[in-house]
Structure 1
Amino acid sequence: MTPETRKLTNVIILGCSFMFVFTAFQTCGNIEQTVIKSINSTQFHGSGYTSLAIIYTVFSASNLLTPSIVALLGSQLSMFISGLVYSAYVAVFIQPYTWSFYLASVVIGIAAAVLWTAQGNCLTINSDENTIGRNSGIFWALLQFSLLFGNLYIYFAWKGEKHISDYNRRTVYTALTVISLVGSVFFILIRKPISEVQSTENNVPDDEHEPLIRSLLTMLTLFCIICRTQEQPSQAVAAFKSAINIFLTKEILLLSVCIAYTGLELTFFSGVYGTCLGATNYFGDEAKSLIGLSGIFVGVGEIIGGATFGLLNKFLSKYLGIGRNPVVLLGLFCHILAYYLIFLNVPNDAPVVSDVGTNEAAYLIPSKFIAIACSFLLGLGDSCFNTQLLSLVGFMYAKESAPAFAVFKFVQSISAAIAFGYSNYLMLQWQLLILCLTAFCGTISFILVEWNAKSSFTSRGYDRI
């Protein structure tokens, strides 16, 4: 196997692993508030929005420390352990208790920070300047298939359901837990790039991967952690310092506006919009199943965007002269159009009503076609922003990928936590206004950083404030 083939294989395995883990987690998040409304009147009292706000708050607080964790454990072991935590969070809903629900929300926040930092590191070390755009697109497209499978099941299983029964809940979450565990196991199939293996063989032997493969069945992961902690303490300290330094660069501070927007819109399409559709009584018996159908079309938009602007990135740039900025502008157009149509189509109190739903009229007669079209636009626009952000950050900080992606997720998760916090209280029109304003500001910030990157990053240098 050639070095380039192995790297591409690693990227595909990485994308498939995330696809399985997030088939479980994103489906869980999409239906979470609706499911909780169905069980809140019994022994369980909690809020899906509050849980997600906790997750992203802890996520943001953990991000600046995760480069040290990844340096100690390696990206592969970090992702494997984090995947197991994701599985545990989903499993909580099989028999939910308030204390276990919120405790799992805290723990998965830490695991998410480790997972995404390790993902950014793994993606970057398996890419170079010529393949980072392609590999980002491959990863993003595979990841977004996670929005199809779980939501497809929800659409058919919940069609005609007005209330989610305990049996339906347990069936769904048991299946999602198994799917997440499969994705976690897939992480051990990722192999070290050949160039790194050869470099290691010429110097000091590195036992990162072979002991890891054996450890899956022999439970020696704790031993691996101890060994790596003893061998690499300086790497952990250096990774933390690097994350702080990168966070204080002019480029990242400016780009943070765009990154923060992706956190806000992530909250909206992954948690709020589906809940709004499920609470709109005008859709009748199909309201709950529309949550799943909406998730499917968000996924379709994500996959098309990832494939077009990731896999065809080199072609678009070389032959059509389309760089990152036009793609982000397309994302802005898709999202502004979607927000306007949602404003007209969905009742204003839909995000905050109880399980009985809302009978309030929108500006238009609520249309299922418009609702699903907006889901597609939300997914397509999100892929435009995220594929280009992944490509730009990977390009600017190729040699400091783990701390750079930790900062990326730090900013994104703070904004997501804030958004999930206000989603409990703000009417739809105010949430859409916040999204529109930050979308414009974020697009401007991205364009400025992209222009600066083209002119001054040929030597991979950057000026600190």
Structure 2
Amino acid sequence: MSPDSKKLFNVLILGISFMFIFTAFQTCGNIAQTVITNLNSTDFHGSGYTSMSVIYGVFSASNLISPSVVALVGPQLSMFISGIFYSLYIAVFIQPSTWSFYTASVFIGIAAAVLWTAQGNCLTINSDENTIGRNSGVFWALLQSSLFFGNLYIYFAWQGKTYISEGDRRTVFIALTVISLVGTVLFFLIRKQEDTKAPGEEDSTNEIHGDSSSARNKLMRAVDAFKRSIKLSFTKEILLLSVTTAYTGLELTFFSGVYGTCIGAVNRFGSEEKSLIGLSGIFIGVGEILGGGIFGLLSKKSRFGRNPIVMLGIIVHFIAFYLIFVNMPSNAPVAPMEGTDDIAYMIPSKEVAIFCSFLLGLGDSCFNTQLLSILGFLYSEDSAPAFAIFKFVQSICAAVAYFYSNYFLLQWQLLIMVVVGFFGTITFFAVEWKAAALLARSSDYSSI
């Protein structure tokens, strides 16, 4: 296998592994609040929104140390261990208790920081300036196909249900736990790149200095990764991209947790209200896959860089936000177990609701594929710290959004995303113009 084929193979395995893990986790997040609402009449007293807020809050703080962990352990083993914790979190729902639910939320927050930092590092290692756009799109399409498979099951299994029984819950979460474990094991299929050292160099060094020298070198790399993360955080480009990243955190919260809850709370959807949560997730996934695939395949052929794709993303999202505003009741995100009979500016339409799901997924893929691409291009030598900062900002904003989702009506959540999305698009443009200037000095810009 040629080096280029080997790198593409690794990207494919990386995407497939994430597809399995996030088939389980994103389906879990999509249905968590609905499932928990049906548990709150028992001894369990928890909130899916609060759990996600804890996850993303811990996730954010843990990104400060995740580059050091990846430098110390290596990306492959880092992703495997993190995948185990994802599986444990999902397994908690099989027999939930309040203490285990929130404890698992803390641990998966730490694991998520390590997982995504290692993913960014692995993607960059297996890409160059000519393939980073393609590889980002391929990875994103595979990752987001996770939204399709798990939610397809939810749509058919929960058809006609207005209450989620204990048997329904256990069947779903046992299956999701197994799926997550399969994805975790697949990380071992990723092939390591050839060592750049001369043959025997590492062995001879270890023979002279012993294992303690190797341990010190790993520790020095870990400390150095932490220092680079702090230094990189205050560069102009990272600060500008942080506004764009903040927007992706807010809209991630909305489409992955809040919007499905809104659909499931609308009583005017009748007996389909719970199964529509799964259908919504499927169409979010269709939008994500379509966007990731198209933008990955066309990235090298674009003469205009990443800005038109980001512009498309914000326009698509603004259309979705307007339609959601007129279609969904304002109290849908915080409705009680019995749901809401309110209406907004039109009689709630299932077709409009599902179309908005597709738009949310398509717009999200526009932003995330281009953020992955520009970070991989600008920080090819500092990929782990750069992706750690990206996830730090994204996760802290997601944590804040999950927290206020417990209290804010729908229109205020939409307004926050509109304002942050507008400014995030402008700041991305500024960084992309600089990236274009850098590339123009070394090669034709159309090679992106």
TM-score bracket, normalised by the shorter chain, equals over 0.9
1:241 aligns with 2:237: no
Q: Is the 1:345–1:363 Cα contact (8 Å) retained in structure 2?
A: yes
Question: Per the alignment, in what secondary structure is the counterpart of residue 331 of structure 2?
Answer: coil
Q: Distance in 2 between matches of 1:55 and 1:200?
A: 43
| Deviates further, 295-304 or 230-239 | 230-239
CA distance in 2, matches of 1:419, 1:357: 22
1:333 paired with 2:315, answer: yes
Residue 89, structure 1, aligned to residue 82, structure 2: no
Q: Which residue of 2 aligns with 1:197?
A: 195
- The yes-or-no answer on 1:345 pairing with 2:322 is no
Q: 1:442 to 1:153 in 2, by over 3 A?
A: same
Distance across 2 between alignment mates of 1:410 and 1:228: 30
Query: Would the aligned equivalents of 1:121 and 1:402 in 2 still touch at CA under 8 Å?
Result: yes
Q: 1:189 to 1:441 in 2, by over 3 A?
A: same
Match of 2:202, SS state, is coil
Whichever residue aligns with residue 424 of structure 2, its letter is G
Match of residue 214 from structure 1? none
- List alignment gaps of at least 5 residues for structure 1: 207-224, 461-465
In structure 2, C-alpha distance between the alignment counterparts of 1:267 and 1:423, rounded to whole Å: 9
Q: 2-side partners of 1:162 and 1:226: how far apart? A: 61
Cα distance in 2 for partners of 1:146, 1:200 equals: 41
What amino acid does structure 1 have at the position aligned with 2:183?
G
* Deviations 1:318-370 (CA, angstroms, capped at 9, x unpaired): xxx24200000000010000000000000000000111000011211111110
How far apart are 1:452 and its partner, in Å?
Answer: 1.5
Distance of 1:284 and 1:52 partners within structure 2? 28
Contact 1:396/1:457, CA 8 A, preserved across alignment: no
Take 2:400 and 2:439, find their aligned partners in 1: how far apart are those partners? 33
User: How many Å apart are 1:456 and its aligned residue?
Assistant: 4.0
Using the TM superposition, name which of 304-313 and 276-285 deviates more.
Answer: 304-313
Structure 2: how far apart are the matches of 1:143 and 1:79? 15
Distance 1:232 1:161 in 2: 54
Supply the distance in 2 between the matched residues of 1:312 and 1:322 (Cα, whole angstroms): 11
Measure, in 1, the Cα distance between the counterparts of 2:95 and 2:433. 52
- Whether the 8 Å contact between 1:25 and 1:90 is mirrored in structure 2 is yes
Equivalent pairs: percent with the same residue? Answer: 68
For the residue of structure 2 that corresponds to 1:162, the secondary structure is: coil
Aligned equivalents of 2:432, 2:198: Cα separation in 1: 35
Aligned to 1:290: 276
Name the structure 1 match of 2:207: none
- Other structure's SS at 1:398 match: coil
Query: Aligned equivalents of 1:402 and 1:458: distance in 2?
Result: 25
Q: CA deviation at 1:200?
A: 5.8
Q: Distance in 2 between matches of 1:150 and 1:159?
A: 14
Aligned ranges for residues 162-311 of structure 1 at < 5 Å?
162-193=162-193, 196-197=194-195, 199=197, 201=199, 203-205=201-203, 229-311=215-297
SS in 1 for 2:332: coil
Q: What is the TM-score of this pair, normalised by structure 2? A: 0.95
TM-score, length basis structure 1: 0.92
For residues 105-144 of structure 1, what are the structure 2 equivalents within 5 Å? 105-144=105-144
Query: How many matched pairs?
Result: 436
Aligned-residue CA RMSD (Å): 1.6
CA distance in 1, matches of 2:133, 2:378: 12
Equivalent residue for 1:445, pick from 393, 402, 427: 427
Q: Which amino acid aligns with 2:275?
A: S
| Unmatched 5+ stretches in structure 2 | 205-210, 443-448
| Structure 2 equivalent of residue 392 of structure 1 | 374
The CA distance in 2 between the partners of 1:458 and 1:397, in whole Å, is: 17
SS of equivalent residue, structure 1 residue 347: coil
